[in-house]
Protein backbone atom coordinates (compact mmCIF):
# COMPACT_ATOMS: atom_id res chain seq x y z
CA UNK A 1 0.00 0.00 0.00
CA UNK A 2 1.35 3.47 -0.84
CA UNK A 3 2.44 5.73 1.99
CA UNK A 4 2.43 9.50 2.21
CA UNK A 5 5.18 11.26 4.12
CA UNK A 6 3.98 14.67 5.28
CA UNK A 7 6.68 17.30 5.68
CA UNK A 8 7.64 19.20 7.77
CA UNK A 9 5.86 16.89 10.29
CA UNK A 10 7.76 13.83 9.12
CA UNK A 11 4.73 11.59 9.72
CA UNK A 12 3.92 8.73 7.35
CA UNK A 13 0.39 7.56 6.66
CA UNK A 14 -1.05 4.85 4.44
CA UNK A 15 -3.27 5.74 1.52
CA UNK A 16 -4.71 3.61 -1.24
CA UNK A 17 -7.26 5.03 -3.62
CA UNK A 18 -7.97 8.12 -1.53
CA UNK A 19 -6.79 11.68 -2.03
CA UNK A 20 -3.80 12.97 -0.08
CA UNK A 21 -6.02 15.15 2.08
CA UNK A 22 -8.71 12.48 2.41
CA UNK A 23 -6.21 9.91 3.69
CA UNK A 24 -4.84 12.37 6.25
CA UNK A 25 -8.26 13.51 7.43
CA UNK A 26 -9.48 9.90 7.75
CA UNK A 27 -6.75 9.42 10.37
CA UNK A 28 -7.70 12.60 12.24
CA UNK A 29 -5.12 14.99 10.78
CA UNK A 30 -6.10 18.61 10.25
CA UNK A 31 -5.38 19.67 6.65
CA UNK A 32 -5.94 23.38 5.87
CA UNK A 33 -8.84 24.03 3.49
CA UNK A 34 -11.48 26.73 3.15
CA UNK A 35 -13.73 25.05 0.56
CA UNK A 36 -14.01 21.75 2.44
CA UNK A 37 -12.13 19.74 -0.15
CA UNK A 38 -14.15 20.71 -3.21
CA UNK A 39 -11.09 21.75 -5.23
CA UNK A 40 -11.95 25.45 -5.46
CA UNK A 41 -9.84 27.37 -2.94
CA UNK A 42 -6.29 25.93 -3.36
CA UNK A 43 -5.71 26.30 0.40
CA UNK A 44 -4.88 22.59 0.54
CA UNK A 45 -2.22 22.86 -2.20
CA UNK A 46 0.98 21.00 -1.40
CA UNK A 47 4.30 20.37 -3.09
CA UNK A 48 4.97 16.82 -4.25
CA UNK A 49 8.66 16.31 -3.54
CA UNK A 50 8.79 12.61 -4.44
CA UNK A 51 6.45 9.97 -5.80
CA UNK A 52 4.35 12.07 -8.19
CA UNK A 53 4.01 8.98 -10.41
CA UNK A 54 1.97 7.36 -7.62
CA UNK A 55 -0.79 9.96 -8.09
CA UNK A 56 -3.49 10.09 -10.74
CA UNK A 57 -2.85 12.70 -13.41
CA UNK A 58 -4.04 16.20 -12.68
CA UNK A 59 -7.58 16.65 -13.93
CA UNK A 60 -9.03 19.61 -15.77
CA UNK A 61 -10.84 21.07 -12.75
CA UNK A 62 -7.73 20.82 -10.56
CA UNK A 63 -5.53 22.60 -13.11
CA UNK A 64 -8.24 25.21 -13.69
CA UNK A 65 -8.46 25.96 -9.94
CA UNK A 66 -4.68 26.19 -9.57
CA UNK A 67 -4.37 28.56 -12.54
CA UNK A 68 -7.32 30.70 -11.42
CA UNK A 69 -6.03 31.07 -7.84
CA UNK A 70 -2.25 30.99 -8.36
CA UNK A 71 -1.59 31.88 -12.00
CA UNK A 72 -0.28 30.10 -15.11
CA UNK A 73 3.20 29.73 -13.64
CA UNK A 74 1.89 26.96 -11.34
CA UNK A 75 1.34 24.51 -14.20
CA UNK A 76 4.22 22.15 -14.85
CA UNK A 77 5.45 22.49 -11.26
CA UNK A 78 5.21 20.02 -8.40
CA UNK A 79 2.13 21.68 -6.84
CA UNK A 80 -1.08 19.67 -6.47
CA UNK A 81 -4.36 20.14 -4.66
CA UNK A 82 -4.30 17.63 -1.81
CA UNK A 83 -8.08 17.30 -2.02
CA UNK A 84 -7.90 16.27 -5.68
CA UNK A 85 -4.59 14.35 -5.96
CA UNK A 86 -5.70 10.72 -5.74
CA UNK A 87 -3.21 8.02 -4.74
CA UNK A 88 -3.12 5.12 -7.19
CA UNK A 89 -3.11 1.53 -5.95
CA UNK A 90 0.33 -0.01 -5.64
CA UNK A 91 3.32 0.62 -3.44
CA UNK A 92 5.83 3.35 -2.83
CA UNK A 93 6.14 6.61 -0.94
CA UNK A 94 4.78 10.01 -1.85
CA UNK A 95 6.57 12.87 -0.08
CA UNK A 96 4.48 16.01 0.27
CA UNK A 97 5.30 19.37 1.82
CA UNK A 98 2.47 21.32 3.41
CA UNK A 99 2.73 23.70 6.32
CA UNK A 100 -0.23 23.96 8.66
CA UNK A 101 -1.02 20.24 8.78
CA UNK A 102 -1.56 19.15 12.37
CA UNK A 103 -1.51 15.72 13.97
CA UNK A 104 -4.65 14.24 15.49
CA UNK A 105 -5.43 15.86 18.81
CA UNK A 106 -3.21 18.91 18.27
Let me know: does 7 contact 95? Beta carbons within 8 Å.
yes
Alpha-carbon distance values, 18 to 2, 68, 80 (Å)? 10, 25, 14
CATH number of this structure's domain 3-97? 3.10.20.30
Write out pLDDT tens, residues 81-99.
Answer: 999 999 999 899 999 999 9
36-82 pLDDT, tens digit each: 999 999 999 999 999 999 999 999 999 999 998 888 888 889 999 99
Amino acid sequence: MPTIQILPLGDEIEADGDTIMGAARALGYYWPTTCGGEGRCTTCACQIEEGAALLDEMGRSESKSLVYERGERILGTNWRLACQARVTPGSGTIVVRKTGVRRPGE
